[in-house]
Structure 1
């Protein structure tokens, strides 16, 4: 099975074009003001217009209300929601139903967490996938850190690998985890929110090699 890839934290039109040209399956926009990769509604609306058919647009939200997300969706026609905060399975389902979008949940892999049990909770409430990210006591993703890939579970729900991925380790990450998809942000940047076209291309080449050998 081919490993899918999402490039997250896009803030510039030229980066949308570079990511599409490199062959990414999805482009992520961060609607979380404290993040250095945050985009406002007007900026995101312009960027989404540049995404062609068959490439998905994903909105990353942290503890946002259904009303806040709905107001964004009025101007930014996102394909899917990524909940990256402390949202419970019930909250994710309620918000997604209220705004009429599919969704998935990002879970930080804490040492004491029963990750399979946590994944099952969100799957039972309708998650289209679950993203596993490195844990950080303060940051909600974008840490640049990875977790122990050998703990990556094999389950009957699409699992997305994130955290510390870059062009140099992505092939091995795919071979180790057999992840349905991978998600990168800082690993292909020259500065926070600024993607490096060469790094994006190298990353996607690694994704293709990993997919071919998995």
Structure 2
């Protein structure tokens, strides 16, 4: 059985990035969204992305980016993957993928079975889907809220290969989440933090180890 694919998102310092790389994370994510406590500037992101080059796939997370922001983010981060975490339509996802020439991962908020209806349209245009807990009403952030959704919603769902699970995961529940959903890729941010935006190297290592211990 192949190892679980693990993404550590919201990295913003060299020590925590190094912790994720040393732990063997497959993907490292950098958030460029000023409202987020995990926001990194283009210049900060440039240095972090260069540091991770060749050691893991580098992901830049953007929320409803316009073309100017896309161009600036591509130039600074030179990402291996663009994560779209806003209200981007399937048409916009396809446009971004074509415009940038980079693979795209689309995050989709899940709270009920009905939310799965959006997945086929995105699966056609995105290289990967990320299923995250839908944010609570009025939330400032589209993700990274430390919430999980009912994983049993996914029972019987036909999900594209590589679909990634996110939302409220930590080292204590990631094994259960993988077992219940049957997915083999996970994404974590708040679950490896001491407080919003402050990653903990020990929690990062523990999460990667727990994800790879799945049965």
Asked whether the equivalents of residues 103 and 127 of structure 2 are also in contact (C-alpha less than 8 Å), the reply is: yes
Measured in 2, the distance between the counterparts of 1:194 and 1:114 equals 31
1:195 Cα deviation from its structure 2 partner: 1.3
Within the alignment, does 1:189 sit opposite 2:193 as a pair?
A: yes
Q: Which residue of 1 aligns with 2:175?
A: 171
Within the alignment, does 1:128 sit opposite 2:127 as a pair?
A: yes
1:166 Cα deviation from its structure 2 partner: 0.5
Asked whether the equivalents of residues 123 and 160 of structure 2 are also in contact (C-alpha less than 8 Å), the reply is: no
1:114 Cα deviation from its structure 2 partner: 4.0
- Residues 73-111 of structure 1: CA distance to partner in whole angstroms, max 9, x if unpaired? 112211111110000000011012111111011011132
Measured in 1, the distance between the counterparts of 2:131 and 2:115 equals 12
Q: 1:150 aligns with which of 149, 152, 155?
A: 152
Measured in 2, the distance between the counterparts of 1:18 and 1:93 equals 34
Measured in 1, the distance between the counterparts of 2:96 and 2:51 equals 27
Measured in 2, the distance between the counterparts of 1:24 and 1:72 equals 22
Asked whether the equivalents of residues 66 and 99 of structure 1 are also in contact (C-alpha less than 8 Å), the reply is: no
Measured in 2, the distance between the counterparts of 1:84 and 1:114 equals 15
Q: Which residue of 1 aligns with 2:90?
A: 89
Unmatched runs of 5 consecutive residues or more in structure 1 = none
Alignment TM-score, normalising by the size of structure 2: 0.93
Unmatched runs of 5 consecutive residues or more in structure 2 = none
Measured in 2, the distance between the counterparts of 1:26 and 1:73 equals 17
Measured in 2, the distance between the counterparts of 1:196 and 1:161 equals 21
Alignment TM-score, normalising by the size of structure 1: 0.93
1:191 Cα deviation from its structure 2 partner: 2.2
1:112 Cα deviation from its structure 2 partner: 6.0
| Secondary structure at the counterpart of residue 145 of structure 2 | coil
